[in-house]
């Protein structure tokens, strides 16, 4: 079983904030893959479904960001899942807007939601880091992450959410690098290969003889 967690703050007031990037990602996975309706459990909202034939539970903690670990810890104990089977989607100040990186464990980069998770389940969970950029000074960070995405961000935000949802089944394999590569490929598919010159010349000769 896989536990997918999106971090954010509950309520319509925060719905479109940069800090709710994780919630947005989970909503798109639910929609794209036909997961069940959200229901209240584990101090959060959960939805169940399957990806690549494996049971998946999506969790959106409703404890507010700074206490996310209470919700995730409760769910992890109930389902008896270890950190290898917990994937957390969260906003990341240290990545440019629209960039995605995946890692396991490591530093918490001052993210209060991650700090709370580490306190309840340890640091070794898997993380999908979703870049929102940095406002330039630490004193501006709180206001920045609690602001809505700008209208101009839609140009990269919607395609990224779509790509993550499409690639989500790969996460069940544990190959996080493959997931990141798939997202990148969806967002920027390779250019079509040029037509071989020899083949082109042959067709031109046939047309000329007609």
Tell me the catalytic residues.
19
Kind and range of the H or E run holding 68: helix 68-79
- Secondary structure of residue 195 in the 3-state scheme: coil
Q: Are 63 and 71 in contact (CB under 8 A)?
A: yes
Strand partners, 88: 5, 127
91-124 as b/e: b if 16+ CB within 10 A: bbbebebbbbebeeeeeeeebbbbbbbbebbebe
Q: Are strands 100-104 and 2-6 parallel, antiparallel or unpaired?
A: unpaired
């Amino acid at each position: 079983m896989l536990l997918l967690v999106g971090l954010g703050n509950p309520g319509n007031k925060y719905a479109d904030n940069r800090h709710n990037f994780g919630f947005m990602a989970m909503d798109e996975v639910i929609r794209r893959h036909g997961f069940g309706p959200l229901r209240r459990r584990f101090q959060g909202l959960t939805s169940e479904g399957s990806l690549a034939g494996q049971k998946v539970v999506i969790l959106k903690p409703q404890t507010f960001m700074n206490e996310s670990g209470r919700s995730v810890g409760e769910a992890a104990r109930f389902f008896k899942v270890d950190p290898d089977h917990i994937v957390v989607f969260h906003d990341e100040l240290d990545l440019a807007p629209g960039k995605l990186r995946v890692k396991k464990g490591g530093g918490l980069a001052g993210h209060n939601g991650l700090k709370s998770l580490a306190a309840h389940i340890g640091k070794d969970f898997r993380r999908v880091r979703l870049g929102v950029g940095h406002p330039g000074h630490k004193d501006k960070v709180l206001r920045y992450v609690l602001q809505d995405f700008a209208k101009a961000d839609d140009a990269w935000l919607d395609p990224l959410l779509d790509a993550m949802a499409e690639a989500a089944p790969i996460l069940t394999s544990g190959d996080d690098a493959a997931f990141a590569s798939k997202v990148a490929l969806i967002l920027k598919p390779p250019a079509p290969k040029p037509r071989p010159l020899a083949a082109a010349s042959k067709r031109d000769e046939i047309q000329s003889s007609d």
